Structure 1
Amino acid sequence: MLALRTSHLITAEPLRGPDPGVPTTFTFPGPCPPPPCRPMPNGYTGTVDESISQQLRAAAGALLAALDEPERARATHRFDDLGARRWIEYRPRPRPGVCLADLRRAARKATHRLLASALSPSAYAQAVAIIGLEEILDRAEGGHRDRHSDDYWVAVFGDPIRDEAWGWRVEGHHLSISMTIVADQVSPAPIFFGANPAAVRWAGRPITRPLGPEEDLGRALLDTLSPRARAMAVIAEAAPTDIISATRPHVDTPMAPLGVSADQLSPTGRSMLDQLVALYLERFPPELADREARRLAGSPVHFAWAGPSWPGQRHYYRVQGDDLLIEYDNTADDGNHAHTVLRRPSGDFGGDLLAAHHRSAH
Structure 2
Amino acid sequence: MKKKFIIALLTTVSLILLFSHSDDNPAVKFLNSLNQNQRDKAQLPFDDTSRTFWHFIPGSRFPRPGIQLNEINTSQKELVNELLQSFLSETGYLKTKKIIALENVLLEITGDSVKRDPGKYFVAFYGNPEIDSLWAWSFEGHHLSLNFTVLNGKTIIAPRFIGASPATIPSGTRKGERTLDKEEDLGLELINSFTGEQRKLAIFKQKPFSNIVTGNSIEVDPLAPVGIKFEEMNHDQQLVFLTLLNEYLSTIPAIQAEKRMENIKKEEMDEVRFAWAGATVSGEGHYYRIQGKSFLIEFDNTQSNANHIHTVWRDFNGDFGRDLIREHYKYSKHHKHD
TM tier, smaller: 0.7 to 0.9
SS in 2 for 1:94: coil
- Retained in 1: the 8 A contact 2:222–2:296? no
- Please say if 1:312 is aligned against 2:283: yes
Would you say 1:240 and 2:206 are equivalent positions? no
- Aligned position for 2:312: 341
Task: Tell me if the contact between 1:259 and 1:304 (Cα under 8 Å) persists in the aligned partners.
Answer: yes
Structure 1 residues 76-115: aligned runs within 5 Å: 76-81=43-48, 83-92=49-58, 93-115=62-84
Pick one of 257, 277, 302 that aligns with 1:289: 257
The residue aligned with 1:31 is none
Contact 2:203 2:277 in 1 (8 A): yes
The alignment status of 1:332 with 2:303, answered yes or no, reads yes
Regions of 4+ moved over 4 Å: none
User: Alpha-carbon deviation of 1:139?
Assistant: 1.5
Q: Does 1:274 align with 2:242?
A: yes
| C-alpha spacing 1:112/1:278, structure 2 compared with 1 (3 Å) | same
TM-score after normalising by structure 2: 0.87
For residue 246 of structure 1, give the secondary structure of its aligned residue in structure 2: coil
* Residue 212 of structure 1 pairs with residue 163 of structure 2: no
Mapped pair 1:141 → 2:107: no
- Find the residue that maps to 2:130 and give its secondary structure: coil
Identity %: 33
Aligned residue in 2 for 1:42:
19
Residue 155, structure 1, aligned to residue 155, structure 2:
no
User: How far off is 1:195 after superposition?
Assistant: 0.7
- Give CA-to-partner distance per residue, 1:251-308, whole Å, 9 cap, x none: 1x24232211101111111111111111101111112111211221231211011100
For residues 18 and 109 of structure 2, what CA distance do their matches in structure 1 show?
Answer: 46
Q: Contact (CA 8 Å) 1:138, 1:145: kept in 2 or not?
A: no
Amino acid of the residue matched to residue 183 of structure 1? N
Q: Partners of 2:18 and 2:328 in 1: how far apart? A: 26
Whether the aligned pair in 2 keeps the contact of 1:243 and 1:328 (CA below 8 Å) is: yes
Q: What is the total number of aligned residue pairs between the two structures?
A: 311
**How does 1:26-65 map onto structure 2 within 5 Å?**
42-44=19-21, 58-65=25-32
Q: TM-score, normalised by structure 1?
A: 0.82
- Of Structure 1 and Structure 2, the greater helix share is in 2
CA distance in 2, matches of 1:87, 1:110: 24
- Runs of 5+ unmatched residues, structure 1: 1-38, 47-54
Aligned residues: CA RMSD: 1.9
Matching of residue 249 in structure 1 with residue 226 in structure 2: no
Asked whether the equivalents of residues 189 and 343 of structure 1 are also in contact (C-alpha less than 8 Å), the reply is yes
Mapped partners of 1:40, 1:75: distance in 2: 26
Counterpart of 2:298 in 1: which secondary structure?
A: strand
Shift of the 144–74 alpha-carbon distance from structure 1 to 2, 3 Å rule, reads closer
Q: Distance in 1 between matches of 2:78 and 2:209?
A: 37
Unpaired runs of at least 5, structure 2? 1-15
